[in-house]
Amino acid sequence: MLLTRRNVLEAGLAAAVGSFSVVNDATAASEPARYQDMFPELDRYVEQYMRDMNSPGMTLVLADREGVQRVATYGFSDLERQRKLRADELFQIGSITKSFIAIVLLQLREEGKLDLDKPILDYLPWLRIQSAFAPITTHHLLTHTSGLSAAWEVFLSDPSQRHMAAYAPGEQFYYNNLAYAVLGHLAWTLDGRELPELFRERIFKPLGMSHSEPVIDFDVRERMASNYAPFLSDRPYARRARLCEAPAIVLTTAAGCIAAPAQDMGAYVRMIASRGRGPAGNLMSPESFELFAKPHIKAKDFGPTASYGYGIVVEELEGNTMLRHTGGMVSFMSSMAIDIDAGVGAFASINAQQEYRPTPVVKYAVQLMRSRIEGRPAPAAPEPDVATIVANAADYVGVFAGPGGRLEFVREGAQLFLLHEGRRLALERLTEDDQFYVAEARFARFALVFGRKPSNDGEESEGAKGPVVEVSWGDAWYVASTYEGPREFNVPDQWRSFVGHYRNENPWVGSVRVVILKGTLMLSVSYGLIPLEADGELFRLRDDPANTDWVRFGEIVNGKCMRLKYSGEDLWRVANL
């Protein structure tokens, strides 16, 4: 589990939601009433959202081309002391930092210091890359199309190890923090100033972001909103599970190192809404902004219609172009969205990590602002997101039998329950389809993963799903009477030594569990199961054809693997009895 300074009572959220309030509310003087009438609607939705998502506190800023129009804070910074959130507290913006480094690199391109299509090794010859494909360029790194595995560190501790490319660059999108860590070193090399000074001089000062911090370290800890993480970090997270205060971290890579208050992020949103123009002139040229906002490649990880630009997601919203990004840290979750045609945007951040982002809040805020500009009726607020409401609950009802006994699922309306030892245990939706969590000690370590009967061609047609015929929990497998597939599977004997719990106390890494299910080696992570496919000495993660990550198993002692390497990071076996 994550190291903690103190535990937080489960009642903390109830107190936070009960004391919901806007504790700071600033409106631009130029047009004080422009959006005023939409604030109550937005506040009501934020209250509902925070209640649904178990959020301690939230900071929110609205901006347009004229300036920051509103800063609002909700809930609590410190749950234990019931201290309300302040507008000047820092929030870690996570991967929204990627858009900052992309802008810096576009500035360097304007200065003639960077060719986006030149091999990255021409600029950084020390970078250890192993690839049988064409050279990787800055463009590939900016668009998450490098094909490199998403390692946690640029500088691998093993001098013989290389960052391996899984496929040719430019072919597939796969989100990659390593790519942006490398881009931070590229900017430093070309500019001559290290990341903190580079961000301050090139972005913070021109935009007036005077209270933001370019890197996260212990010196800014006191200015940071108190922040929270799951009390138990080795298993799927239940929406209303216990939280605890998270440890301080140090992060200095361009993949996600900025901390900022809402007012400063409003200045950043305003610049993007103005297509790259800041208070004192263009932060980037019109040509650079077009490159920044161009949909270079489809990015379905962010939604079925989303594409990726340079450090930013690009998609259409009601006929307009929306630029957006999210950021997930050890104990913060952020989201930013800007309608560049209407010239309005929003940023929100929550001081806890619970595997979601406040994207519905910023999207709704943008829709409300746009409706005011266009003189249209306000759109309806998004529907509540209650984890135990399962729209297709009827799909999972039935009895499933296996060597370990039987599992029976029933429903009441849109709620799904597991019958176990005379009790009805509610299932909670996880982020992946057909995967659920039961917040009860007996089932806490793994997700419940349902399987469906494939169509005749072996693939699901768009929007269509076959009937549920099986369910698994870890390595336990249960089938319905309608299951028609194989029931016996052979696996190499060596695989049995790989099964177990592996841990690294780096909070970015945490725990994985390895199980064998239906003859396949599986990696159990917080959101479900990922199949592993043998590739020489490696195993490739195969939840997504574009996934570049890999696993290599280490030393075997007394029939048990003692170490697992995950895309370059070591995890060690935990002796679970």
The answer to whether residue 121 sits within a structural domain is yes
Given pLDDT bands bounded at 50, 70 and 90, which one contains residue 305? very high
Percent of the chain scored above 90 by pLDDT?
Answer: 84
Choosing from 444, 479, 514, the residue where a domain stops is 479
3-state secondary structure of 2: coil
Give the integer Cα–Cα distance in Å for 137 and 115: 9
Mean pLDDT of the chain: 91
157, 22: one domain: no
Given pLDDT bands bounded at 50, 70 and 90, which one contains residue 576? confident
* Opening angle at CA 175, ends 91 and 312, nearest 5: 60
The answer to whether residue 325 sits within a structural domain is no
- Please report the pLDDT score of residue 238 as a whole number: 87
84, 113: one domain: no
pLDDT of 461 > 80? The answer is no
Nearest to 501 by CA among 443, 446, 429, 441: 446
- Please report the pLDDT score of residue 6 as a whole number: 25
The answer to whether residue 548 sits within a structural domain is yes
pLDDT of 1 > 60? The answer is no
Given pLDDT bands bounded at 50, 70 and 90, which one contains residue 463? low
506 HSE (CA, 13 A, CB side)? 14
Residue type at 480?
A
Give the integer Cα–Cα distance in Å for 199 and 310: 17
- Please report the pLDDT score of residue 159 as a whole number: 85
State how far the alpha carbon of 232 is from the alpha carbons of 229, 444, 507, 509, in Å: 9, 10, 12, 14
10, 83: one domain: yes
Give the integer Cα–Cα distance in Å for 394 and 387: 16
- Please report the pLDDT score of residue 184 as a whole number: 98
50, 132: one domain: no
| Interior/surface letters 324-348, b for 16+ CB within 10 angstroms, e for the rest | bbbbbbbbbbbbbbbbbbbbbbbbb
**How many structural domains is the chain composed of?**
4
400, 423: one domain: yes
Q: Residues 488-508: pLDDT tens digits?
A: 999 999 999 999 999 999 988
The answer to whether residue 291 sits within a structural domain is no
3-state secondary structure of 400: strand
- Please report the pLDDT score of residue 464 as a whole number: 66
- Please report the pLDDT score of residue 150 as a whole number: 86
Give the integer Cα–Cα distance in Å for 136 and 354: 34
- For the whole model, what pTM was predicted? 0.93
> Span 82-89, mean pLDDT?
95
Please return the burial class of 531, using the count of CB atoms within 10 Å of its CB with bins 0-12, 13-18 and 19+: middle
Residue entry with tokens 């123009």: 277
14-18, 171-175, 287-291 — which is least confidently predicted?
A: 14-18
Percent of the chain scored above 70 by pLDDT?
Answer: 93
Q: Which residue has the higher pLDDT, 16 or 450?
A: 450
pLDDT of 474 > 90? The answer is yes
Across the strands, what pairs with 406? 401
82, 13: one domain: yes
- Please report the pLDDT score of residue 32 as a whole number: 53
Nearest to 443 by CA among 200, 235, 167: 235
Choosing from 363, 384, 405, the residue where a domain stops is 384
- Please report the pLDDT score of residue 283 as a whole number: 97
10-14, 304-308, 433-437 — which is least confidently predicted?
A: 10-14
> Span 141-150, mean pLDDT?
96
pLDDT of 14 > 70? The answer is no
pLDDT of 117 > 70? The answer is yes
Find the helix or strand (DSSP H, E) in which 81 lies.
none
The answer to whether residue 169 sits within a structural domain is yes
Q: Residues 519-550: pLDDT tens digits?
A: 999 999 887 889 999 999 999 999 999 999 99
20, 45: one domain: yes
Choosing from 432, 452, 479, the residue where a domain stops is 479
Given pLDDT bands bounded at 50, 70 and 90, which one contains residue 29? very low
Residue entry with tokens 């840290």: 329
87, 231: one domain: yes
Give the integer Cα–Cα distance in Å for 210 and 208: 5
Which two tokens mark 326?
């999210």
242, 377: one domain: yes
Range of the domain at 548: 493-574
- Please report the pLDDT score of residue 160 as a whole number: 86
3, 82: one domain: yes
> Span 342-356, mean pLDDT?
94
The answer to whether residue 359 sits within a structural domain is no
Which two tokens mark 464?
């269509």
- Please report the pLDDT score of residue 520 as a whole number: 96
For residue 536, the domain's CATH number is 2.40.128.50
The answer to whether residue 207 sits within a structural domain is no
Given pLDDT bands bounded at 50, 70 and 90, which one contains residue 248? very high
- Number of other CB atoms surrounding residue 291 within 10 Å: 19
90-99, 141-150, 261-270, 463-472 — which is least confidently predicted?
A: 463-472
Q: DSSP character for 86? A: -
3-state secondary structure of 337: strand
531, 454: one domain: no
- Please report the pLDDT score of residue 26 as a whole number: 54
> Span 53-57, mean pLDDT?
95
The answer to whether residue 131 sits within a structural domain is yes
Nearest to 305 by CA among 293, 292, 321: 321
Given pLDDT bands bounded at 50, 70 and 90, which one contains residue 439? confident
Nearest to 477 by CA among 399, 403, 527, 398: 403
Contacts 24+ apart (CB under 8 A), 462-469: 465/395, 467/395, 468/395, 468/396, 468/398, 468/434
